[in-house]
Amino acid sequence: MLLAIEVSEMQFVRMRKAIGFLIILWGLSQYFTTALPALDSAARESFQVIEVAASVSQDALKKQ
């Protein structure tokens, strides 16, 4: 009887760890779902700033 109780407690601990792992995976997926579009937007805006800076520099060099 004692062995059966220990086994069920071990199964409970394993189940709890598995559920915790699934919750962490879900949280990470939610984080990356919002983080990757934000990163893409930031990169796009950075390239636009670089493009404008290059155009201004090119215009300044032409005036010299």
> Is residue 7 very low, low, confident or very high in pLDDT (cuts 50, 70, 90)?
low
Q: 5: pLDDT confidence band, cut at 50, 70 and 90?
A: low
DSSP label at 1?
Answer: -
Q: How far apart are alpha carbons 58 and 12 in whole angstroms? A: 68
What's the pLDDT tens digit per position in 27-53? 999 988 888 888 899 999 999 999 999
3-state secondary structure of 64: coil
pLDDT of residue 1: 47
Q: Which residue has the higher pLDDT, 23 or 34?
A: 23
